[in-house]
Structure 1
Amino acid sequence: MPERIRFHLDENVDPDIALALRRSGIDVTTSQEANLLAVSDTIQLHFARTESRVLVTHDDDFLILNSQGIDHISIVYCQKDAKPIGYIIRMLILLYEVAALEELRGRVEYL
């Protein structure tokens, strides 16, 4: 059976998104809960990679790190304030329902 997606939300992502994902039975961590507030983006990616989690962010710096070849499981990016919170939640749930973790490895998904 393919490995299910687990998410990690960085500190710029609304914590209500984590609550909604959990209500849908999705495993999610946040930077706040993992004691990762104000740490570097590379440390955030390292945490997500070692935990086999897809990093969800609004931070453009993660796109730069990806273009530099920094290793990661996967990044889901949505420009800050570009989409309503309900849309982000629905798209993350959809991604969880239709994709296996292996399909996303090393990719950036844009919402």
Structure 2
Amino acid sequence: MRVYADENVWLPVVEGLRRRGWDVTTVYDEGTVRDSDREHLERATRNGWLVLTFDDDFLSLVAADENAERAGIVYVGQYGKEVGELVRRVDAALRRNRDRDLVGEIVYA
């Protein structure tokens, strides 16, 4: 599963996930940093990627379009957490769901 990290995900978290073997691309890697949340979600959906975000705006976006087919989302609130904890939480969420089709789902890490 390829994970698409939006601009709110700290790069050290991305690097930590990559060190744990996850295939993570970022908005910086893809040259899409100025795109809207909707455009990020649409890109991930087209490519079959899972969106990783710290941005709760994605949750509102999904709630407004609850019947639309879309990429799965892994959401984690970063406030009060250190990089290591965030990496562990996301890694654990990805491992728990490794064998599941997460299309259209929100996973809270």
Fold equivalence (TM over 0.5) = yes
In structure 1, the residue matched to 2:41 is: 45
Q: Which runs of 4+ in 1 moved over 6 A?
A: none
Distance 1:90-1:80 versus aligned 2 partners, 3 A rule = closer
Q: 1:26 aligns with which of 19, 22, 37?
A: 22
TM-score scaled by length of structure 2: 0.85
The 5 A counterparts of 1:15-94 are 15-69=11-65, 70-94=68-92
Gaps of 5+ in 2: none
In structure 2, the residue matched to 1:96 is: 94
**Greater RCO (Cα-Cα under 8 Å, separation 6 or more):** 1
Gaps of 5+ in 1: none
In structure 2, the residue matched to 1:14 is: 10
Aligned residue identity for 1:61: D
The total of aligned residue pairs comes to: 106
Q: 2:104 aligns with which of 103, 106, 110?
A: 106
Distance 1:30 1:101 in 2: 22
For the aligned residue pairs, the C-alpha RMSD in angstroms reads: 1.6
